[in-house]
Amino acid sequence: MKHILKIMALLVAVAGIWISLLETSVVPRSYTWLLPVYLVVSLGCYGLLMVGVGLMLFPTCPQEASLLQKDIIEAKEFLKSKGVDVGAV
């Protein structure tokens, strides 16, 4: 719920800045109408950047990997006991 409030506060702040720029004519009106488009494009680029950085810095967890392998072996044994052919994969 806290993230929703942060996002809503950010949107209200951006909308307020955008409306104030429209009313005060600090920036030419032809540029001001494009600000929401620039904002969406900027947020998209930021999102792609964060996904890329997250993938590059993806942590390896050897303990979790060994636990996952144990769970897989346990699941295969359980399925074999129930008569399911899990194969040699």
Q: In which domain, by residue range, is 39 found?
A: 2-81
DSSP 8-state assignment for residue 33: T
Cut 0.95: pTM above it: no
Is the Cβ–Cβ distance between 39 and 14 less than 8 Å?
yes
Question: pLDDT at position 74, please?
Answer: 94
Is residue 53 assigned to a domain?
yes
Is residue 88 assigned to a domain?
no
The pLDDT tens digits of the residues spanning 55-83 come to: 888 777 888 889 999 999 999 999 999 88
- Nearest-5° angle of CA 13, CA 20, CA 16? 15
Is residue 89 assigned to a domain?
no
Question: pLDDT at position 50, please?
Answer: 87
Is residue 10 assigned to a domain?
yes
Domain tally for the chain? 1
The pLDDT tens digits of the residues spanning 20-65 come to: 877 787 767 677 677 778 878 888 898 899 888 888 887 778 888 8
- Percent helix, strand, coil in the chain, to 5, is 80, 0, 20
Cα–Cα distance for residue pair 46/54, rounded to 1 Å = 12
pLDDT band at 1 (very low <50, low <70, confident <90, very high): low
Question: pLDDT at position 78, please?
Answer: 92
Question: pLDDT at position 14, please?
Answer: 83
